[in-house]
């Protein structure tokens, strides 16, 4: 196993922390699922424009390769190896009155969490049989949901290209052929074992076997962030009655990308702030102050359209779910205030 050849283009946290010494100390190690440090860093090596550039193959990757992962986790989340994660999924603790009741700025709100099944490898190291088994268990569990969460599972295999494209365009379904996931080993056997569950209104959705085994999603038009959070936490509670997810006291919910550890939560709005966005520096400064990330409106690594941006919490580990949403909410309140002042 060779130390990767990094160029000036490699700016990821992976390239920063995979020093030759760290690599040499880890190159002969393997997790129980046969995952190596080369597997962990392949996506970032092949995609120099990665921001992070590393994926875990299983929960054990985070301990076996701790000298590599710990500093990345510390820099991204501000969370040290001695810290303990805490969870709070109680919507009563969230102070989030709709910041845009006239629907002038917030187009839509979406909150998702990643989950992986306990005692299974994560996507990058999973076998086809294990992935298919997860699809079976998860789709069966989902089909037992009642009330407003009741819906249907649609496997990707057999879905028409038009249906798939329409779901992607309308922000409901994951994209196909993501090069970061491809080189992480997450697209093996595509499209088998993958699919999407949703209720009739498409306000509650679950992605199956994309980057994580489950992405549990609550979304709707407008800015009622609390309603979106409440629906999500209800759904998580229902699923947890029937399935056990991979979780530990230090890292919280275990995910394949270290950015998602902890709450595995990304709470976002699509928000129109064209005037503020004309001054990118100011826009970024407000987002940084509230620990927010700016994405384009077709997901990560996409561009804004018409001054609409995807604004979401950046911190996910060492903060509770309520705090993740509160970060987003507080930032959005300030963004709206500043956008209004520029009118
Ligand atoms: P993830 O949220 O899983 O990290 P992406 O950034 O790729 O991944 O987003 C997934 C999809 O969700 C994309 O189609 C994106 O446009 C959509 N999305 C994200 N936030 C919102 C939102 N607030 N309203 C509507 N769609 C959203
Ligand atoms: N591997 C990509 C994405 C990192 C964070 N996003 C996700 C979807 N996990 C990168 O390093 O830029």
Domains of the chain and CATH, by start: 13-77 (1.10.135.10), 91-342 (3.30.590.10)
Is residue 102 classed as helix, strand or coil in its secondary structure? coil
Query: How many Å lie between the centroid of ligand 2 and the Cα of residue 10?
Result: 14
For residues 94 and 230, give the distance between their C-alpha atoms in angstroms, rounded to a whole number: 10
Asked if 252 and 77 count as a contact pair (C-beta separation under 8 A), the reply is no
Q: C-alpha angle with apex 138: 158 to 31, nearest 5 degrees?
A: 105
Closest CA to 219 of 199, 195, 242, 240: 199
Query: How many Å lie between the centroid of ligand 1 and the Cα of residue 172?
Result: 8
Query: How many Å lie between the centroid of ligand 1 and the Cα of residue 271?
Result: 12
DSSP 171-207: T-S--S--HHHHHTTTTTTTTTT-EEEEETTSSEEEE
Residue 115 known to be catalytic: no
For the chain, give the percent of residues with pLDDT over 70: 100
- Give the model's confidence band at 124: pLDDT under 50 very low, under 70 low, under 90 confident, else very high: very high
User: How confident is the model at residue 255, as a pLDDT?
Assistant: 98
β-bridge pairing 106-115 and 214-221: antiparallel
Residue 337, exposed/middle/buried by CB under 10 A (0-12, 13-18, 19+)?
exposed
Asked if 53 and 40 count as a contact pair (C-beta separation under 8 A), the reply is no
Asked if 94 and 325 count as a contact pair (C-beta separation under 8 A), the reply is yes
Is residue 300 pLDDT above 90, yes or no? no
Ligand 1 pocket residue status of 108, Cβ below 6 Å:
yes
Mutational pocket test of ligand 2: of 253, 295, 300, the residue with most ligand atoms within 8 Å of the beta carbon: 300
Residue 324 known to be catalytic: no
Q: C-alpha angle with apex 126: 122 to 132, nearest 5 degrees?
A: 110
Counting from 1 in the atom list of ligand 2, the atom nearest the Cα of 12 is 11
Tokens encoding 17: 């922390």
Is residue 301 pLDDT above 90, yes or no? no
Residue 131 known to be catalytic: no
Tokens encoding 89: 């999924």
Q: Which of 115, 215, 231, 316 is catalytic?
A: 215
Q: C-alpha angle with apex 215: 211 to 216, nearest 5 degrees?
A: 180
Nearest CA to ligand 1 atom 26: 171
User: How confident is the model at residue 233, as a pLDDT?
Assistant: 98
Average pLDDT, the chain: 97
Which phi and psi (to 5°) does residue 43 adopt?
A: -60, -45
Residue 60 known to be catalytic: no
pLDDT in tens, 183-236: 999 999 999 999 999 999 999 999 999 999 999 999 999 999 999 999 999 999
Ligand 2 pocket residue status of 257, Cβ below 6 Å:
yes
Nearest CA to ligand 1 atom 24: 108
Q: Which of 211, 263, 320, 321 is catalytic?
A: 211
Q: Which of 59, 64, 112, 263 is catalytic?
A: 112
Would the pTM of this model clear 0.85, i.e. be above it? yes
Among all bound ligands, the one having the nearest atom to the CA of 257 is 2
Closest CA to 253 of 243, 170, 238, 28: 243
Q: Which of 59, 60, 257, 263 is catalytic?
A: 257
Separation of first and last alpha carbons in the chain? 58
User: How confident is the model at residue 237, as a pLDDT?
Assistant: 97
Q: In what order do the strands lie in the sheet with 292-295?
A: 151-155, 195-199, 204-208, 214-221, 106-115, 265-272, 308-313, 292-295
């Amino acid at each position: 196993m060779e130390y990767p050849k990094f160029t000036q283009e490699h700016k990821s946290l992976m390239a920063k922390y995979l020093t030759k010494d760290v690599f040499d100390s880890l190159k002969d190690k393997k997790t129980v699922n046969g995952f190596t440090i080369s597997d962990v860093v392949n996506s970032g090596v092949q995609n120099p424009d990665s921001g992070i550039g590393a994926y875990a193959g299983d929960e054990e990757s985070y301990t076996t390769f701790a000298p590599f992962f710990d500093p990345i986790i510390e820099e991204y989340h501000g969370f040290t190896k001695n810290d303990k994660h805490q969870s709070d999924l109680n919507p009563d603790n969230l102070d989030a009155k709709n910041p845009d009741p006239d629907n002038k700025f917030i187009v839509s709100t979406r909150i998702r969490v990643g989950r992986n099944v306990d005692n299974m490898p994560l996507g990058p190291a999973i076998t086809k049989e294990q992935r298919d088994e997860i699809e079976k268990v998860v789709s069966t569990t989902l089909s037992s949901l009642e009330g407003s969460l009741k819906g249907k599972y649609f496997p990707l295999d057999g879905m028409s290209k038009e249906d798939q494209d329409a779901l992607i365009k309308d922000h409901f379904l994951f994209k196909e052929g993501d090069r970061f996931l491809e080189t992480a080993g997450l697209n093996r056997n595509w499209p088998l074992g993958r699919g999407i569950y949703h209720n009739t209104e498409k306000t509650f959705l679950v992605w199956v076997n994309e980057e994580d085994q489950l992405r549990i999603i609550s979304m709707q038009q407008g800015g009622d962030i609390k309603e979106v959070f409440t629906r999500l936490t209800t759904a998580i509670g229902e699923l947890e009655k029937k399935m056990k997810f991979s979780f530990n006291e230090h890292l919280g919910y275990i995910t394949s990308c270290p950015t998602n550890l902890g709450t595995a939560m990304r709470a976002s709005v699509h928000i129109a702030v064209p005037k503020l966005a004309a001054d990118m520096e100011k826009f970024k400064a407000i987002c940084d102050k509230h620990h927010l990330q700016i994405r384009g409106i077709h997901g990560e690594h996409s561009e804004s359209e018409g001054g609409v941006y995807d604004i979401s919490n950046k911190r996910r580990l060492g903060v509770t779910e309520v705090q993740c949403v509160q970060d987003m909410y507080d930032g959005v309140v300030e963004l709206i205030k500043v956008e209004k002042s520029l009118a």
